[in-house]
Amino acid sequence: MDKYEILQKYFGYDTFRQAQETLIDSILEGKDTLGIMPTGAGKSLCYQIPALLMEGITLVISPLISLMKDQVGSLNQAGIHAAFLNSSLTPGQYRKALSYAMQGRYPIIYVAPERLVTPEFLDFALHTPIAMVAVDEAHCVSQWGQDFRPSYLKIVEFIDRLPKRPILSAFTATATKEVRDDIIAILQLRDPTVMTTGFDRSNLYFGVVSVKDRYGAVKTYLQAHREESGIVYCLTRKHVEEVCERLIRDGFSVTRYHAGLSDEERRKNQDDFIYDTVPVIVATNAFGMGIDKSNVRFVLHYGMPKNPESYYQEAGRAGRDGAPAQCILYYSGQDVATNQLFIEHNQDNQQLDEVTRAIVMERDRQRLKKMTFYCFTNECLRDYILQYFGEYGSNYCGNCSNCLTQFEEVDVTRAASSLLACIQTSKQRFGVNVILDTLRGARTAKIREYGMDHNPHYGELEDVPVYRLRQVLQYLQLQEYLLVTEDMYAVVKLTEKAAGVLERGERIVMKLAKEVQRVPKSQSDDKKRRKSHGLPEDAHFTQREESLFERLRRLRTQLAREAQIPPYMVFSDKTLAHMCVVKPVTKGQMLTVSGVGDFKFEKYGEEFLQCIAAFTRGAAKPGGREGV
């Protein structure tokens, strides 16, 4: 078979996506390869398809048990023999898997980096032909990345011990130029093919909402999206427990996930979410890497992550099927302090030498600052993220909260001048709240204690609402007229740029919202259904097709339950929706449906054909599955 036959037979697709073919060809030509592709762009196919065409075994280095389990399960469902080697296996299971691997039963083996240099695995690797080592989540090798894992440094040591150097390939969804260069250097990739497909996920809507009652906002959102599956990310375990408990009390079907739960509960809760038993999971960032659940329609952040890489990776778990999905961040100023604590007590940093640890912590603080700016910029949110990763767009995407809000340019020079002057005359000794209270003419004990009621700018802006003053101050920080220190006591300081306003009378103009933020573009109910199922807007998807879609989903659920696999491993929502449009009656027609390959058809195709035929006739076959 060639790469096209494998693509169709096992994965059910007729064509490759952007860059997939280039990366696959590079590997098949024997070249080291680095692919930087957004979540949902099909990275795994770029090493799985070559693995089936090369002589020898492909080892996939993967950081998490859940990631390995999901990938191996999907491969086995597609008819490809694969296995994983990690701490979830008993000693007997581990030895049996190694034995089968040595017999050549598995063209693809997923392995945890910690296992690579153990005596038992090394003995296997030294006596088995290794065609390729594929490094998944390759950013984990970089100390400058957002998710550095020291165990990834064992990869090069392992490769150096092999009798023959295999092809090396590496893949990640989030990498700045610095991290990309780090991956190439640390993994010692030789003249690699480097392909960056772009970081844009045009199907994702991005929104930032600053609200006092975050729980109320999340509750309102979930009430409006009860039929959809999603993730609510929280910064701490405590928040996970509180939010999950309140949502259950308010009648929502949710579960929870964080590192403080037992292995058994984490596994059960994760499976409940993946298998669609529970539609919503409330979790810390310990959840999600490698979870290939295609029908996640929203990711809500109950607090700001510590850097743009983490945010984009977590938000990217929505809409992996290419259908529209929403990513909304509920921001509070307290999130900054919480993340600063995380940075200072990062356990991975503790393993570094003192000089390196200081450099890494400073870079972490700079990334936190960039993430904070994301939360109060009035520019296009998508463009802000893309610029962070080195891409530049038009600064208007039409699918983020800022682009869907009407703005007007407002001269805020008076407020900006007063803010900067107040900071200057108070000798840059105080934090944001003291400065704002002074300008507003507050009569608090703290203001009197600090003597700020005698500041020449005391009460100067008592006519300006405090929320507007905060907006102006945040804008001045974003534009680097001032900065807020990251010490124990956050203090507002002026930069050299402030002199332009204070000494030369420079005008400050900023974009301010004209009206309350609007929801994404209005759609008819039918149009919404089509988009949520990943269909083009002009697709004919009527109420009748919607009924067929639900019938197919029920059949899929029953088949998945019998096979003890997640429903999306049978067929994705997008594939079911395509069936509703095509309404196949023969095997040939079914194989034209995106996501239906020969192997999947042999397993499930006839039952779906029968279900569609019965629906089309207008009567389900008595006792048949199509009546479920």
* Residue at a domain's end among 513, 542, 567: 513
Whether residues 114 and 192 share a domain: the answer is: yes
Place of tokens 């977590």: 314
Whether residues 266 and 383 share a domain: the answer is: yes
pLDDT in tens, 450-470: 999 999 999 999 999 998 898
Whether residues 616 and 531 share a domain: the answer is: yes
How far is Cα 533 from Cα 75, in angstroms, rounded to an integer? 24
Whether residues 82 and 166 share a domain: the answer is: yes
Q: Is residue 401 assigned to a domain?
A: no
pLDDT in tens, 184-193: 999 999 999 9
**Helix extents (H) in 389-457:** 413-425, 432-440, 445-449
pLDDT score, position 238: 95
List the structure tokens of 250: 């308010």
pLDDT score, position 351: 64
Neighbours of 76 (CB within 10 A): 14
Whether residues 101 and 182 share a domain: the answer is: yes
The average pLDDT across 291-299 equals: 87
**Greatest mean pLDDT range, 395-404, 523-532, 538-547:** 395-404
pLDDT score, position 626: 43
pLDDT score, position 525: 52
DSSP conformational letter for 138: G
Average pLDDT over the chain, rounded to an integer: 87
DSSP conformational letter for 134: E
Q: Is residue 35 assigned to a domain?
A: yes
Buried b (16+ CB within 10 A) or exposed e, 455-485: bebbebbeebeeeebbbbbbbbbbeebbebe
CA distances from 234 to 247, 283, 329, 347 (A): 14, 6, 10, 19
pLDDT in tens, 63-80: 877 778 888 988 988 899
Specify the CATH number for the domain of residue 137: 3.40.50.300
Q: What percent of the chain has pLDDT over 70?
A: 92
How far is Cα 437 from Cα 384, in angstroms, rounded to an integer? 31
Whether residues 336 and 412 share a domain: the answer is: no
The average pLDDT across 114-138 equals: 93
Q: Is residue 363 assigned to a domain?
A: yes
Q: Is residue 393 assigned to a domain?
A: no
Contact 410, 508 (CB under 8 A): no
List the structure tokens of 550: 């639900």
Name the pLDDT band for 322 (thresholds 50, 70, 90).
Answer: confident
pLDDT score, position 531: 52
pLDDT score, position 532: 53
Q: What pairs with residue 209 in β-bridges?
A: 330
Q: Is residue 593 assigned to a domain?
A: yes
- Three-state DSSP class for residue 187: coil
For residue 145, pLDDT over 70 is answered with no
Contact 458, 471 (CB under 8 A): no
For residue 489, pLDDT over 90 is answered with no
How far is Cα 184 from Cα 176, in angstroms, rounded to an integer? 13
How far is Cα 441 from Cα 492, in angstroms, rounded to an integer? 18
Whether residues 453 and 425 share a domain: the answer is: yes
Q: What pairs with residue 302 in β-bridges?
A: 234
pLDDT in tens, 563-607: 888 888 899 888 898 898 889 999 999 999 988 988 899 999 999
pLDDT score, position 628: 41
Specify the CATH number for the domain of residue 568: 1.10.150.80
pLDDT score, position 488: 61
How far is Cα 249 from Cα 270, in angstroms, rounded to an integer? 20
Q: Is residue 520 assigned to a domain?
A: no
pLDDT in tens, 181-218: 999 999 999 999 999 887 888 899 999 998 889 999 99
* Residue at a domain's end among 453, 485, 513: 513
How far is Cα 617 from Cα 258, in angstroms, rounded to an integer? 48
pLDDT in tens, 7-56: 998 988 889 987 899 999 999 999 999 999 887 778 899 999 999 999 99
Whether residues 284 and 211 share a domain: the answer is: yes
What DSSP assignment string belongs to 521-541?
Answer: ----HHHHHHHHTT--TTS--
Measuring CA to CA, which residue among 335, 333, 342, 229 is closest to residue 282? 229
Whether residues 304 and 343 share a domain: the answer is: yes
Q: Is residue 398 assigned to a domain?
A: no
The answer, as to whether pTM is greater than 0.85, is no
Contact 73, 593 (CB under 8 A): no
Whether residues 415 and 379 share a domain: the answer is: no
pLDDT score, position 437: 94
* Residue at a domain's end among 484, 513, 542: 513
pLDDT score, position 541: 61
Q: Output 519 or 606, whichever has higher pLDDT.
A: 606
pLDDT score, position 515: 52
The average pLDDT across 271-290 equals: 89
Whether residues 286 and 425 share a domain: the answer is: no
Q: Domain residues for 490?
A: 407-513
For residue 347, pLDDT over 70 is answered with no
Measuring CA to CA, which residue among 373, 405, 409, 408 is closest to residue 388? 373
CA count, 13 A, side-chain hemisphere, 453: 8
pLDDT score, position 178: 86
Whether residues 622 and 563 share a domain: the answer is: yes
User: How many domains in the chain?
Assistant: 4
| Total residue count of the chain as it appears in this document | 628
pLDDT in tens, 327-346: 999 998 889 888 888 888 77
Name the pLDDT band for 486 (thresholds 50, 70, 90).
Answer: low
The average pLDDT across 480-505 equals: 87
